[in-house]
A and B are shown apart, each in its own frame.
Chain A
Amino acid sequence: MTDHTLPQRPSPEPGVITSAGFRLDGWGLFATLVAALVLVPVLVSFSSFAEINRDLLAHLTQFVLPELILNTVWLILGVALGVSVLGVSLAWLVAMCDFPGRRWLDWALLLPLALPAYVTAFVAIDLLDFSGPLQSWLRQGWGVTGLPDIRSRGGVIGVMSLALYPYVYLIAKNAFATQGAIALEAAQSLGLSRRQGFVRVALPMARPWIAAGVMLALMETLADFGTMAVFNYDTFTTAIYKAWYSLFSLPAAAQLASILILFVLLVVVFEQRSRAQMRYSTVGRSAASRRISLTPGLAWLAFAYAVTVLLLAFLIPVTQLVLWTREVILQDLDARYWAFAWHSVLLAGMGALMVVAVGLLLAYAGRHRPGSFMAWTQRLATLGYAFPGAVLAVGLFIPVATLDNWLIDTTRSWFGFQGTGILKGTLLVMLLAYLVRFLAVGFGPIDSGLHRITRNVDEAARSLGTSTSGLLTRVHLPMLRTSLRTAAVLVFVDIMKEMPITLMTRPFGWDTLAVRVFEMTSEGEWARAALPSLAIVLTGIIPVILLTWSPRPSRT
């Protein structure tokens, strides 16, 4: 059994530097460019401090901020705990234990990824609120009243945890599948019990991966607007929208957004610290051959637990969507839906390809030019995920429009161009915005995957005469296949669900399924929003299944 370990930032080896010469600068330049692109909307936000409305700021500080900071902190803590518990426990069960249904639950537990969190939220409120069927039935049939309110802090945290646990589940499952068995075996050989082995060895070893998944879930939570609106739960992001839409102050909104960004930066640094202690090992043997066999009682308990989570996070919401869809499908489903679905898939596909390509290069830049400069550049480049979508969209649109106006004026005076847009009307702006927003989602899995390929592999390949490009295409890419697929699917599904950027930057005629959802939900027409939501879920399921389906699923 080979078990190589590699610190995240190895001391540069002489061979890398000399063979890299000019390329080193190229990597640095590339990474800087990507980070600069992400920094554009951040800087647009920070530039808002040029115009400070003291009255408004005083009002926000006195009446709005205290509660929403408290709410945000509670939400972060609650969701972090929720997604960790759900994600880690399910990942451990699926990766390490044998129980009925394990094979299909392996991929089925990822399905909630395809469901927008605000849909889960709306269904939860619809079913569990005072007017919902459950409480009505309890009240009328049994006289039971005074149930806990779903529209509460606990309710928001529960829904967000159910919607976002797959990030942790997916990443932790891979870590357990490749390391867990070995770690557990080693622990047991040293006389620890199975439980002690899990708590004291396997869990700490997987911690950096768990942290990476939790980080994604938290950034998503911080940026979330839809779910918070459904629950009427005030967070930083809802305050940003309030300052913009209700108080008509985009500067105040941007100022709040920059505070949020600083907050996220803190969390990112914290997470990077924990990642710095990551130790990566190559895959020795997969866990498949020696899963822990549970007693029948425990095995069925594990099954019941996993199915319950799946039921709450996916099956019940989707069933409700199906029921709503049945009410409206004859009236609403027309030929245009093919166009909406096609646009969604096309945009999500192109966006995923672009994010994966840039994410791969960015991860490579870190490998070829390790150091604190690169580490910081990578951190900045992946900040966009925590940015509330509409603020990000505006932060990108303003500079693009400015550039466009300049281009139009120039081409008009030179060539007599009569149009109203050169860049704005193209998909390029949209794709760049997706890149800024979702780079974190694609970069994480690729970077972790790349770190798992030790230098020994590179050296071995080189000693056999492989060139640098050959190293990438013939050695690294095949080894990175799972990571790239994970990244591509996560980004694909996220873009399918994405609304604010699509609304803001789409060219005429580029309506998507998510745009349809916006149209209906903005007027509270949830039943009619169910049809496009369901279409998003169905389209999103395909890549989720592809993600986990392979001839030998657990060998990575």
Chain B
Amino acid sequence: MKLLSLICAVALATPALSALAEEVVVYSARNEQLIKPLFDTYTRDTGVQIKFITGGEGPLMERLKAEGQNTPADILLTVDAGNLWQAAHEGLLRPIQSKTLQENVPPHLRDPGNEWFGLSVRARTLVYNTTKVKPADLSTYEDLADPKWKGRLCLRTSKKVYNQSLVAMMITEHGEPKAQSIVKGWVSNLATAPFPDDTKAIEAVANGQCDVTLVNTYYFGRLMEKSPNLPVAIFWPNQNQANKDAGVHVNVSGAGVTHHAKNPAGAQKLLEWLSSDKAQNLFADNNLEYPVNPKVKPDQTVAAWGSFKQNLINVKEAGSLQAQAVKLMDRVGYK
């Protein structure tokens, strides 16, 4: 018990000591290995210390809520616009006025109320088996509900927020009844039960268990780095200008300054830096994502997949309609 009280004493004393230097405290739902290199660079360049803790976005938000005005956190960083929207919706973030962020982050990838900003773009697209499918057979997300894909579609589970966001965007575009019949079509075209992650779904396509699936591009990139000879390729759906197709569904990982931040100015500076050229490359390339800042070029591997038209509907819709999308998927039996 002596050891215990000693440790408690140390743990108590630590925050008091480190408060002397300027520091920014981050709660991050983005992986440690994806953010630590950035934070290390920032500290090296500016001398500002960054203290962060990682965790699931749900528990991190509950933690913020429970801590209220005594939270040590200055920034909440998460993946998926749905989570950012939810954080803003629950009053956990504060609006910030920053010309830099407004310039660096396109309007559809940030909160209209300036409470959060996308920092990297994640594109959700089609991956198909190159020996069994001709690119000409593919067109849109919606088309995957067509009976011609019966027994040829693989999907990741509906529990993953990426698919929930995609369905939420379809609700925005088509209205709920039509979105529901599309998702129902997907379910009836499934070749096998939904997979726990995108990588498994791509592997199923590569092995001929099904012909086409829906994934975030960086999973494709990671798998191809490991096994470059897999017979799979990326297809950018919803690109037909004449049909006024909306474009590829994109989501963001992003961040906002917490409502009760102790160092809001420092937090804002860090966010601005994260949207700058230097950080954008580090941020996106590290995980084969797309930079949010249009002036910054994507990583070579990523650029090789070709350019595409993004869906310009504000990603916040993914958040506000997420619960509705989940219920829709429950109703049609998408597991």
Taking Cβ atoms with an 8 Å cutoff, the residues of A that contact B are: 56, 59, 63-64, 125, 129-131, 136, 149, 151, 229-232, 234, 238, 241-242, 244-250, 350, 390, 393-394, 397-398, 401-402, 404-405, 408, 418-422, 424-428, 431, 500, 503-504, 506-509, 511, 515-516, 518-520, 522-525
Q: How far is the CA of A229 from the CA of B86 in the complex (A)?
A: 23
A131, B335: Cβ atoms under 8 Å? no
Complex interface: stretch among B94-102, B140-148, B188-196, B294-302 = B188-196
B19, B52, B207, B327: which contacts A59 (Cβ < 8 A)?
Answer: B327
Indicate whether B330 reaches chain A with its CB closer than 8 angstroms. Answer: yes
Measured CB to CB, the closest approach of chain A to B239, in angstroms, equals: 27
Task: Give me 9 A-to-B residue pairs in the complex whose CB atoms sit less than 8 angstroms apart, sorted by A's number.
Answer: A129-B200, A131-B204, A246-B326, A249-B323, A394-B66, A397-B66, A503-B54, A506-B53, A507-B11
Q: Which residue of A lies closest to B55 (CB)?
A: A503
Q: B62 contacts which chain A residues (CB < 8 A)? A: 250, 394, 397-398
Measured CB to CB, the closest approach of chain B to A408, in angstroms, equals: 5
Q: How far is the CA of A188 from the CA of B159 in the complex (A)?
A: 57
Q: How far is the CA of A525 from the CA of B196 in the complex (A)?
A: 12
Measured CB to CB, the closest approach of chain A to B197, in angstroms, equals: 4
B196, A350: Cβ atoms under 8 Å? no
B33, A421: Cβ atoms under 8 Å? no
B317-335 with Cβ < 8 A to chain A: 322-323, 326-327, 330-331, 335
B70, A524: Cβ atoms under 8 Å? no
Q: Which residue of A lies closest to B203 (CB)?
A: A131
Indicate whether B71 reaches chain A with its CB closer than 8 angstroms. Answer: yes
Main secondary structure on chain A at its contact with chain B?
Answer: helix
Given contacts A426-B8, A504-B59, 11 further A-B contacts (CB under 8 A): A130-B209, A131-B200, A232-B196, A244-B58, A246-B326, A390-B59, A398-B66, A426-B12, A428-B4, A504-B63, A524-B198
Q: A242 contacts which chain B residues (CB < 8 A)? A: 159, 326
B59, A401: Cβ atoms under 8 Å? no
B29-72 with Cβ < 8 A to chain A: 31-33, 51-59, 62-63, 66-72
A-B pairs, 10 with minimum CB distance = A401-B66, A524-B197, A420-B72, A131-B203, A131-B207, A63-B330, A503-B55, A130-B209, A426-B11, A245-B58
Q: Which residue of B lies closest to A60 (CB)?
A: B330
Q: Which residue of A lies closest to B52 (CB)?
A: A508
A420, B32: Cβ atoms under 8 Å? no
A519, B31: Cβ atoms under 8 Å? yes
Q: How far is the CA of A82 from the CA of B88 in the complex (A)?
A: 47
Q: Which among A64, A246, A394, A418 has the greatest number of chain B C-beta atoms within 10 A?
A: A246
Measured CB to CB, the closest approach of chain A to B222, in angstroms, equals: 8
Q: Which residue of A lies closest to B9 (CB)?
A: A426
B219, A524: Cβ atoms under 8 Å? yes
B323, A64: Cβ atoms under 8 Å? no
B63-121 with Cβ < 8 A to chain A: 63, 66-72, 86
A246 and B70 in contact, given A508-B51, A524-B199 (Cβ under 8 angstroms): no
Q: How far is the CA of A421 from the CA of B54 in the complex (A)?
A: 18
Q: Which residue of A lies closest to B207 (CB)?
A: A131
A151, A418, A421, A508: which contacts B53 (Cβ < 8 A)?
Answer: A508
B4, A130: Cβ atoms under 8 Å? no
B279-315 with Cβ < 8 A to chain A: none
Q: Which residue of A lies closest to B331 (CB)?
A: A63
Q: B56 contacts which chain A residues (CB < 8 A)? A: 245, 390, 500, 503, 518, 522
Measured CB to CB, the closest approach of chain B to A470, in angstroms, equals: 22
Indicate whether B246 reaches chain A with its CB closer than 8 angstroms. Answer: no
Indicate whether B133 reaches chain A with its CB closer than 8 angstroms. Answer: no
A425, B15: Cβ atoms under 8 Å? yes
Q: Which residue of A lies closest to B12 (CB)?
A: A426
Q: B58 contacts which chain A residues (CB < 8 A)? A: 241, 244-245, 250, 390
Indicate whether B265 reaches chain A with its CB closer than 8 angstroms. Answer: no
Q: Which residue of A lies closest to B58 (CB)?
A: A245
Indicate whether B262 reaches chain A with its CB closer than 8 angstroms. Answer: yes
Q: How far is the CA of A247 from the CA of B329 in the complex (A)?
A: 12
**0/1 per residue, B196-222, Cβ < 8 Å to A?**
111110011011010000000001001
Q: Which residue of A lies closest to B59 (CB)?
A: A504
B330, A500: Cβ atoms under 8 Å? no
A234 and B209 in contact, given A246-B323, A421-B15 (Cβ under 8 angstroms): no
Q: B129 contacts which chain A residues (CB < 8 A)? A: none
B4, B14, B67, B86: which contacts A350 (Cβ < 8 A)?
Answer: B4
Q: How far is the CA of A419 from the CA of B69 in the complex (A)?
A: 11
B123-150 with Cβ < 8 A to chain A: none
A231, A234, A426, A519: which contacts B54 (Cβ < 8 A)?
Answer: A519
Indicate whether B16 reaches chain A with its CB closer than 8 angstroms. Answer: yes
A232 and B193 in contact, given A63-B331, A419-B15, A511-B32 (Cβ under 8 angstroms): yes
Q: Which residue of A lies closest to B158 (CB)?
A: A246
Q: Which residue of B lies closest to A528 (CB)?
A: B33
Q: How far is the CA of A250 from the CA of B62 in the complex (A)?
A: 9
Q: How far is the CA of A131 from the CA of B201 in the complex (A)?
A: 10
Q: B51 contacts which chain A residues (CB < 8 A)? A: 508-509
**0/1 per residue, B168-182, Cβ < 8 Å to A?**
000000000000000
Q: How far is the CA of A516 from the CA of B32 in the complex (A)?
A: 8
Q: B3 contacts which chain A residues (CB < 8 A)? A: 350
Measured CB to CB, the closest approach of chain B to A139, in angstroms, equals: 8
B195, A232: Cβ atoms under 8 Å? yes
Measured CB to CB, the closest approach of chain B to A442, in angstroms, equals: 17
A404, B70: Cβ atoms under 8 Å? yes
Measured CB to CB, the closest approach of chain A to B191, in angstroms, equals: 9
Q: How far is the CA of A116 from the CA of B279 in the complex (A)?
A: 36
Q: How far is the CA of A250 from the CA of B60 in the complex (A)?
A: 13
Q: How far is the CA of A503 from the CA of B335 in the complex (A)?
A: 27
A131, B331: Cβ atoms under 8 Å? no
Q: Which residue of A lies closest to B72 (CB)?
A: A420
Measured CB to CB, the closest approach of chain B to A163, in angstroms, equals: 17
A397 and B63 in contact, given A232-B157, A242-B326 (Cβ under 8 angstroms): yes
Q: How far is the CA of A404 from the CA of B66 in the complex (A)?
A: 10
Q: A397 contacts which chain B residues (CB < 8 A)? A: 62-63, 66
Q: How far is the CA of A249 from the CA of B53 in the complex (A)?
A: 24
Indicate whether B275 reaches chain A with its CB closer than 8 angstroms. Answer: no
B193, A149: Cβ atoms under 8 Å? yes
Indicate whether B7 reaches chain A with its CB closer than 8 angstroms. Answer: yes
Indicate whether B233 reaches chain A with its CB closer than 8 angstroms. Answer: no
Q: A130 contacts which chain B residues (CB < 8 A)? A: 192, 204, 207, 209
Measured CB to CB, the closest approach of chain B to A341, in angstroms, equals: 16
Q: How far is the CA of A19 from the CA of B72 in the complex (A)?
A: 52
Q: A394 contacts which chain B residues (CB < 8 A)? A: 59, 62, 66
B8, A500: Cβ atoms under 8 Å? no
Q: B276 contacts which chain A residues (CB < 8 A)? A: none
A519 and B70 in contact, given A245-B56, A245-B57, A350-B4 (Cβ under 8 angstroms): no
Q: B14 contacts which chain A residues (CB < 8 A)? A: 425, 507-509
A149, A230, A515: which contacts B192 (Cβ < 8 A)?
Answer: A149
Q: Which among B71, B207, B262 has the greatest number of chain A C-beta atoms within 10 A?
A: B207
Q: A504 contacts which chain B residues (CB < 8 A)? A: 55, 59, 63
Q: A56 contacts which chain B residues (CB < 8 A)? A: 323
